[in-house]
């Protein structure tokens, strides 16, 4: 049996039971009430009313019974109509939800349900719409990911093909071609490695080995690692100030290897977006039980509408930016690792003046005991 008949029959069963209980209760409860009124009437009438006691009692009870029997069908009719309307509304909402679910199952992620009313059915429709919106974003992210990966793969594959054809046509020596192909294969390997890492970061499946580490050591190692690339590009890299006291350790609770990876991604991003003659400043500050490491550049800056999107996979505020400068997931990985280590990564920027990425880390006393 379909849902609507079942709902209607269940309502009717409840209405019939309540009507029966009402009639029986009225009959049983009315007898003492009627008897008291008959006794009062007989007392007021005196001797003339003594012989009418039974007739009065019977008449009043019959009148009550007729009134109940007359009102009961009308009450049942009204109750049935109300039950029909309620059952119809519930089944209409269920059918709408069923149709929406079927649409989602077929890939129609734009389907939404009307959210009318203030009851649980409206809440259910709202939850469905939130779920549909989330699925739509996930699907769009999947489509974008496939498109971005295909875009990132296209250039090195085309380059490799070009080198092979140039070698076949005698336009390029085998040694030069092999060197160029090796370089492009390195780009493909880096892309595959970064994609694997970002998927594990987003799934929370990255191995972390946190320990007490000096933030100054992290910054010094990053400076040594990036000194040559910054020098080659003509960008100044400065480390400091370190607070509260430059000579004192700044302990943090983090995984040194992953912390170096976060700093590497931030400095690499700053280097790509800072023109020659610019400057990148890295500093560490201890405050309120946390440590904040900032990477500030004098690059082109980020438009306000793009501030949060810079942490999305493959997002580029400048679509015309030269390829080959990173895999496009560095900031995604950096924020994911920062949050996995109990901190966060945020950005502030002014177009034309530069950007400041702020990475917060827990101090040893603030770490999660688990």
Q: Is there a single domain that holds both residue 197 and residue 224? A: no
Q: Is there a single domain that holds both residue 275 and residue 350? A: yes
Q: Is there a single domain that holds both residue 276 and residue 346? A: yes
Q: Is there a single domain that holds both residue 193 and residue 215? A: no
Looking at mean pLDDT, say which of 8-12, 17-21, 27-31, 339-343 comes out highest. 339-343
**Residue 321 pLDDT > 70, yes or no?**
no
Provide, rounded to the nearest whole percent, the portion of the chain with pLDDT above 70. 84
CA angle 195–201–204, rounded 5-degree value: 140
127-136, 167-176, 193-202: least confident range:
193-202
CATH number for the domain that contains residue 164: 1.10.287.130
Q: Is there a single domain that holds both residue 215 and residue 354? A: yes
pTM to 2 decimals? 0.59
Q: Is residue 130 part of a domain?
A: no
Q: Is residue 235 part of a domain?
A: yes
Task: Quickly count: other Cβ atoms within 10 Å of residue 53's Cβ.
Answer: 15
Question: How far is it, in rounded angstroms, from Cα 183 to Cα 176?
Answer: 11
Q: Is there a single domain that holds both residue 215 and residue 355? A: yes
Q: Is there a single domain that holds both residue 329 and residue 229? A: yes
Q: Is there a single domain that holds both residue 215 and residue 357? A: yes
Confidence at residue 104, expressed as pLDDT on a 0 to 100 scale: 83
Mean local confidence (pLDDT), 33-53: 67
Q: Is residue 122 part of a domain?
A: no
**Residue 84 pLDDT > 80, yes or no?**
no
How sure is the predictor about 369, in pLDDT bands with cuts at 50, 70 and 90? very low
Confidence at residue 242, expressed as pLDDT on a 0 to 100 scale: 67
State how beta strands 279-287 and 236-242 pair.
parallel
Confidence at residue 317, expressed as pLDDT on a 0 to 100 scale: 63
Instruction: Tell me the DSSP string of 13-39.
Output: HHHHHHHHHHHHHHHHHHHHHHHHHHH
Question: How far is it, in rounded angstroms, from Cα 138 to Cα 197?
Answer: 19
Which of 87, 108, 129 corresponds to the end of one domain?
A: 108
- The string over 333-368, giving b where at least 16 C-beta atoms fall within 10 Å of a residue's C-beta and e elsewhere, is bbbbbbebbbbebebebeeeebbbbbbbbbbeeebe
CATH number for the domain that contains residue 340: 3.30.565.10
Strand partners, 56: none
Confidence at residue 17, expressed as pLDDT on a 0 to 100 scale: 80
**Residue 46 pLDDT > 80, yes or no?**
no
The count of structural domains within the chain is: 3
Q: Is there a single domain that holds both residue 95 and residue 51? A: yes
Q: Is there a single domain that holds both residue 233 and residue 338? A: yes
Residue-number span of the structural domain to which 85 is assigned: 3-108
């Amino acid at each position: 049996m379909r849902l609507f008949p079942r709902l209607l029959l269940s309502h009717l069963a409840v209405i019939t039971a309540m009507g029966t209980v009402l009639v029986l209760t009225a009959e049983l409860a009315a007898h003492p009430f009627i008897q008291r009124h008959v006794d009062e009437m007989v007392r007021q009438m005196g001797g003339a009313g003594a012989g009418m006691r039974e007739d009065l009692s019977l008449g009043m009870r019959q009148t009550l019974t007729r009134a109940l029997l007359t009102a009961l069908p009308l009450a049942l009719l009204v109750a049935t109509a109300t039950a029909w309307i309620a059952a119809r509304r519930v089944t209409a909402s269920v059918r709408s939800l069923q149709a929406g679910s079927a649409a989602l199952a077929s890939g129609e992620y734009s389907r939404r349900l009307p959210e009318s009313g203030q009851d649980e059915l409206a809440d259910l429709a709202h939850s469905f719409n939130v779920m549909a919106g989330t699925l739509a974003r996930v699907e769009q992210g999947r489509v974008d990911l496939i498109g971005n990966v295909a875009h990132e793969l296209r250039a090195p594959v085309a380059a490799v093909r070009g080198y092979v054809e140039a070698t076949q046509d005698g336009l390029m020596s085998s040694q030069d071609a092999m060197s160029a192909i090796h370089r492009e294969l390195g780009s493909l390997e880096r892309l595959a490695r970064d994609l694997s890492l970002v998927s594990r970061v987003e799934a929370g499946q990255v191995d972390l080995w946190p320990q007490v580490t000096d933030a100054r050591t992290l910054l010094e190692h990053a400076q040594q690692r990036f000194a040559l690339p910054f020098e080659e590009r003509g960008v100044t890299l400065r480390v400091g100030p370190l607070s509260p006291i430059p000579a004192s350790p700044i302990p943090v609770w983090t995984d040194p290897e992953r912390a170096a990876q976060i700093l590497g991604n931030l400095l690499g991003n700053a280097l790509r977006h800072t023109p020659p003659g610019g400057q990148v400043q890295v500093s560490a500050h201890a405050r309120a039980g946390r440590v904040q490491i900032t990477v500030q550049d004098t690059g082109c800056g980020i438009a306000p509408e793009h501030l949060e999107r810079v942490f999305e996979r493959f997002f580029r505020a400048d679509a015309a930016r030269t390829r080959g400068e990173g895999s496009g997931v560095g900031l995604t990985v950096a924020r994911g690792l920062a949050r996995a280590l109990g901190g966060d990564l945020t950005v502030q920027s002014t177009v034309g003046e530069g950007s400041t990425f702020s990475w917060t880390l827990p101090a040893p006393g603030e770490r999660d005991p688990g």
